[in-house]
Structure 1
């Protein structure tokens, strides 16, 4: 209770449910279901509801008319936020404040399936993109495998080439050793022949002296 003669105002807030019908720039209709909590409640509830409904419907329809249905569908969150901002601005001019706005999913009007179609389209696009991503990943994997195989083949070829040169070098080394050994054997044989001839000559000389 206030002092005698005072005017008591109700500053409590009230919930106002709405189902705003709007159309996109292509004239495609949809419904924006929402519950707005508005205060202070210092006017007749019905009068406030009429004012709020007029503001919400007007701002929603103006904004929707500037966007395509696909833009509204893909930017639902941004669309709702912009509606709230415009509605709040207009309510402020009336001395009202929007405490809360509970907005449900945008829905098609009866007999229209625009959001359903866009939802299916988005799912199909996502499925197609997933297939593309899988195909690209598979292709990259195959290219990577081929590159790895090519690197392995090149490394194996290099190892085989090194092994061949190593074997060739070993063969040359062995052949050279054989040549040296044969040469040494030949020299040794010549020395032995010369020594034998020398001994023979010496024996002949000694035999002649005895005679």
Structure 2
């Protein structure tokens, strides 16, 4: 029987979008690369309790704003690892805690899945997504021919930055609720859309 390991993972993200990563011990399984702070759950321990404990141990950081983000399962040869990912957007820490604990802030665009354990691949892909995704209108069976209609819509959208009439801005988190089985990143900072309107 394959062992099952449950791990609490914290994606600690600043308002500028950068995330906190550490260097994985080379002696560990898939070691030598990067990792997000976190660790395995102890028997009877909740995900949030495990994450707070691990963050204090690894970063001397105490999270004050934590939200469930996604759950990822990955099958290695010897065990199945389930990552319970939490997004941390506020915390209490001392000045310079990153340097003192061998951590660094990284722009998600600079992260490569090759530098992380395999179970992290979907997480890295999600972090690299743009904060907003344009959603076009749905064309019904009685609509005009799709090709010309589609091209016209794209042209209008490009010219007006997706203002009313061409489409609308929607956050990937909202899109995920209706289209996928796991959530995607909420935008950091202001909740206003690029065109100044309110987001869905």
**TM-score between both structures, scaled by the size of structure 1:** 0.25
Return the structure number with greater helix share. 1
Larger Rg: 1
Flag the structure with higher strand content.
2
Q: Relative contact order (alpha carbons < 8 A, sep ≥ 6): 1 or 2 greater?
A: 2
TM-score for both structures, normalised by structure 2: 0.26
